[in-house]
Each structure stands twice: as structure tokens, then as C-alpha cells.
Chains A and B, each alone.
Chain A
Amino acid sequence: MSFFLPKLSCKKDIDDAVKSVAEKVLVLRFGRDEDSVCLQLDEILSKTAHDLSNMASIYLVDVDTAPVYTRYFDISFIPSTVFFFNGQHMKVDYGSPDHTKFVGSFKTKQDFMDLIEVIYRGAMRGKLIVRSPIDPRNIPKYDLLYHDI
């Protein structure tokens, strides 16, 4: 459930989170608490949060509260998860069209943990984009809407 994970409700909170999390992956889940897929994702996130506490900090953001970031991060589907490291955005190639965020929920907790580990290792080595270890069959499919059409 999402009440284990901290929530950010305004742009300033998100800014603070991005700036303050040091030497750890920052996971921002953009979505709504009531949405079913979001609930699934939130459960995975909260169950793995403790085990990943040395590598990652996880926050939940309601898309309605910070529209600037909703636009800035081009969030069209929820839930979308964005990863940062030391204030820098980390891109991940999941095999899906959008590398800037992870759209949808994970199939298993292990998938999420593997992903976090890969992002962490890549960041430690100076990589801004890494390749996801998750089996492409487990990645949710979606159609990317073309912008300005």
C-alpha cells in the first residue's frame, strides 16, 4: 500500500527530493493513488523499498498536484516512474519506445529490484543511459502518442 512510501505534493517538494537525495537512485512514481495499475505498482514499490534502501529512495507523486512536472516529463500514461541519480535523469532502454520513464507496473518484485540495481551500477560508472535487465515480455505495452498531432 502506498501509505508506507513518502508522498510529494508540490513542485517544491519534488525539487527538494531531486536535489537532496545523494548517491542513491531517486524513484518518482507519477500516478494516482486510486488507479488500479498504480495500486499494483505501489505494492511492489513499498515491499521492496526496505531492501533497496541503500540504493534507492522511492517517492510517490500525484500527477494532479504538480502539473509542471507532468508536462515536463511528458507523462501521458499512469503510472509512470522516472529515475534520477544525483540530480541527473537516468534513461533506461526497456525495449519500449520511451526511454525516459517506465510506464506501467512491474510483473514481479525481482524485476524492479534488478532494474534498480542496474541503474545504480550504471550511475556509479558514469552512465546516463542503461539497458534494462527485465525480460521484454514483462514490459507493459503501450502506444506512444505523437506530440503535437
Chain B
Amino acid sequence: MGAFYCSICRKTDFSGKGHIYGKSHQSKLKVIIVKFMEKIKEAKRTIKNPQVEKYSPDHDEKFWCYCCALEVQKHVTDSNISVLYGGLLEHMSTPEHRTNTHKFWWDNKADPKLRDKFIITEEATERFKSEVSKALEQFEEKEDVFIKQQAAVIRSQEQHRLEVLQSVSEPDPELEQPAEVDQHSSKHTARSSHSHSYEMEPQPGPSHEDFTSHGQWNEPGLGLTFIGYQDTSSSGNVHTGAVPPWLLEEPDEASGSGQQEMGPSLQEFLKHKEQEKLKKLPPNRVGANFDHSSHTDANWLPSFGRVWNSGRRWQSRHQFREEEAKTRGKRKWEGDGKATKKQKDLSNGEL
């Protein structure tokens, strides 16, 4: 006939209606029905006993209904609590789904006995809804109880903390007692028992044990050290949108160093450029490691291979220095002590 897309095989087919009776189509169909059946069985189990739970992200899951070719929400949820499989059951009970299921069965020539399992009757839905409302009430009651328990726990912890504080500041009972006149009687007795324990040894047993057991009961729950209430009303904190400390100007930094520019100065940059050029020169050139800026004294002579020398160049320098010393010595015997002028006379004579 024409081109026909079979959504079960996920193939375009040109063989017409005969495709549906083919082996592969039927096997794929069976697989799909089995998988779908599993989901529905799960859901049907909850009809008599609906589960209501606190919301969690996987309650937004959707499932694909093959009959209607739609994605449907699996569970019913309102972001706080959710009814498991509520969505599935609701969808299954709609009349549209009924017609679609029938159509699906007729088109794909599936086993008719299984068809009814994919539809949920109205009675079933009615029953489900009543069960759900009951379950919801129960759930809410449980939640309330739980919240009350939590509140009680928090209150007792708070009280315990206060007791600890008072017992720690026990050493100055004279200072404290006038200040804390309006305390509970229980706290008063606790404090006095503690003060007794500090003064006299025989008392410690019970009061200390109470103290430690109380502490131990706290430890596994909230073993935290209280470091004090951070008062940031003056400078603000992260919630009020104050400037973070690392962006604040340091008083010593700003005033001491002044404007510090980042990066190399012009001199350094030029030097760097020169060095780059030097790197390009052959490394084995003459005098590559010659230090051009080394300070030399007045007697320095460059490395020079003299004429009447055989041997290494430093020897010629050495020889020259010896000769100089000899000639200078001669001059000194003869005349006064003027060194440089004499050398000039000597050179004139030579040339």
C-alpha cells in the first residue's frame, strides 16, 4: 500500500497490513505487553492499599502508555506528598484510554484475553479513591506526631545547653545569683547541686552522672561546640549582602605601598627583549659567556695573544705583567716616584 510506520517495531513498513501478522512484529508486541503488564500489576496492588509518601524527586516520573501513545504521570503529587501510582490508575480509568486500548488491540492483533487487564474499571477507581483519602489522613496524622516529637527534642536540647552554661560559670556563684534571680526552680536546684559537687567530694556521684549521661545522650545527636552568637548587626553578613572581607581594602596595604603597578617595569621589559635577542645568537660564539658589566680594576688587561708568545693567551698577559713589573722596578731606581709619566717616556722611546 503506502509507507506505514509501525511504532512497535519502530520501522517504516511498505508491506501493508500484512506486516502485523509477521513474526518479528508479534514477538516485539509480546515483549511490550509483558513489560507494560509489570507496571500495571504494581499499580493494581496499591488499589486496595494505597501508599502515601512524602514527596521525593522520583515521584515526577512519567511512563509511556503504548495504547494512547502518550507520556503520563505515574504518581500523583502536589510537591509535599504523593500517592504512588495514582497517575497511572487515573489514566487507566479514563474512557479515552479504553477506546485507545481497544484500537491498539485491534490494530496490532494482540491477544484479546490480556486486553482487559490494561483497563481499570470504574468500581476499582472508586474504591481506590476512598482508600486514598483514608491513607492521606493517616499520613498527615503521622506527620504531625513526628513534628511534635522533633519539637520536644529541640526544646530539651536547648534546656540542656543552658544548664551546661550555668554549670560552667559556677565558680562565681555570688556574682551569678543576684543576676539570675528569675530563673526556673529546676535550674536553680541543678546549679546548687553542682556547686555542692564542687565544694564537697561525697556528693559528686549522682549529679555528675546525670550530667554525663545527659551529655552522652547529646553527643550522638548533636556533638557540636557552641561558639557564641555572631553579632553582625554593625557590619552585615552574607545574608544582608555586605561586602565580603577579601574585597575590603586593607588599611596597611593601601596606605603603605601606594600604587603598586603589576607586571615588569619598562626597564625590565627592554632587558627582557635584549635577552630574547641574545638567545637567538649561536651559543658557541666567541665570548658568549663574557660578562659585559663586570667591574674591573685599573690594572685589567683584555685577553690578548701577544706577538712574541707561544702558548696560551693568559700566559701572554701574565708575561706582560711581569715585564711591566721589571721595567717599572728599573725606573723606580733611577728617578722619582711618578709611575704613569715614566711609561709614556718609555713608549715614546720605543716608537
Contact A70/B347 with A87-B292, A87-B302, A100-B305 known, Cβ cut-off 8 Å: yes
A39 within 8 A of B: no
Q: How far is the CB of B342 from chain A (nearest CB, A)?
A: 9
Contact A123/B286 with A15-B300, A20-B292, A144-B307 known, Cβ cut-off 8 Å: yes
CA distance A148 to B290 in the complex (A): 34
Contact of A124 among B285, B296, B313 (CB under 8 A): B285
CA distance A20 to B301 in the complex (A): 14
Q: How far is the CB of B327 from chain A (nearest CB, A)?
A: 9
Contact A88/B290 with A74-B308, A123-B285 known, Cβ cut-off 8 Å: yes
Q: Is the CB of B304 within 8 A of A100?
A: yes
Binds B, one of A41-49, A61-69, A109-117: A61-69
Binds A, one of B71-79, B81-89, B276-284: B276-284
Within 8 Å CB of B348, what residues of A? 64
Q: Can you name the residue of chain A whose Cβ is closest to the Cβ of B344?
A: A67
A9 within 8 A of B: no
Q: Mark A98-119, 1 if CB is under 8 A from B, else 0.
A: 1010000000000000000000
Q: Can you name the residue of chain A whose Cβ is closest to the Cβ of B285?
A: A124
Q: Is the CB of B287 within 8 A of A85?
A: yes
Within 8 Å CB of A100, what residues of B? 304-307
Binds B, one of A51-59, A125-133, A135-143: A125-133
CA distance A75 to B304 in the complex (A): 13
Q: Can you name the residue of chain B whose Cβ is closest to the Cβ of A127?
A: B286
Q: Can you name the residue of chain B whose Cβ is closest to the Cβ of A84?
A: B302
Within 8 Å CB of B343, what residues of A? 67-68, 71
Name the interface residues of B297-344: CB closer than 8 Å to any CB of A: 298, 300-308, 313, 320, 323-324, 343-344
Within 8 Å CB of A126, what residues of B? 282, 284-286
Q: How far is the CB of A42 from chain B (nearest CB, A)?
A: 18
Within 8 Å CB of B313, what residues of A? 89
Q: Is the CB of B307 within 8 A of A98?
A: yes
Q: Is the CB of B346 within 8 A of A67?
A: yes
Q: Can you name the residue of chain A whose Cβ is closest to the Cβ of B351?
A: A63
CA distance A78 to B347 in the complex (A): 13
Q: Mark B222-236, 1 if CB is under 8 A from A, else 0.
A: 000000000000000
Q: How far is the CB of A16 from chain B (nearest CB, A)?
A: 9
Q: Is the CB of B307 within 8 A of A86?
A: no
Q: Mark B147-163, 1 if CB is under 8 A from A, else 0.
A: 00000000000000000
Within 8 Å CB of B266, what residues of A? none
A13 within 8 A of B: no
Q: Is the CB of A125 within 8 A of B344?
A: no
Q: Mark B99-113, 1 if CB is under 8 A from A, else 0.
A: 000000000000000
A4 within 8 A of B: no
Interface centre among B284, B302, B344 (most CB of A within 10 A): B302
Interface centre among A68, A73, A144 (most CB of B within 10 A): A68
B262 within 8 A of A: no
Q: How far is the CB of A68 from chain B (nearest CB, A)?
A: 7
Q: How far is the CB of A137 from chain B (nearest CB, A)?
A: 23
Within 8 Å CB of A12, what residues of B? 298
Contact of B282 among A18, A71, A125 (CB under 8 A): A125
CA distance A82 to B304 in the complex (A): 10
Q: Is the CB of B287 within 8 A of A88?
A: yes
CA distance A11 to B278 in the complex (A): 28
Q: How far is the CB of B273 from chain A (nearest CB, A)?
A: 14
Contact A19/B285 with A67-B344, A72-B301 known, Cβ cut-off 8 Å: no
Contact of B320 among A19, A72, A78, A98 (CB under 8 A): A72
Q: Is the CB of B292 within 8 A of A19?
A: yes
B294 within 8 A of A: yes
Q: Is the CB of B306 within 8 A of A72?
A: yes
B238 within 8 A of A: no
In the complex, 13 of the A-B residue pairs with CB atoms within 8 angstroms, ordered by the A residue number, are: A15-B296, A15-B302, A19-B293, A63-B347, A63-B351, A72-B306, A84-B302, A86-B285, A87-B287, A87-B302, A100-B306, A123-B285, A147-B307
**Further pairs besides A64-B344, A88-B286, A124-B281: 16, Cβ < 8 Å:** A12-B298, A64-B348, A71-B324, A71-B346, A76-B350, A76-B351, A84-B302, A88-B287, A89-B304, A89-B313, A100-B307, A123-B286, A124-B286, A125-B285, A128-B286, A146-B308
Sorted nearest first, the 3 A-B pairs with minimum C-beta distance are A86-B287, A67-B347, A126-B284
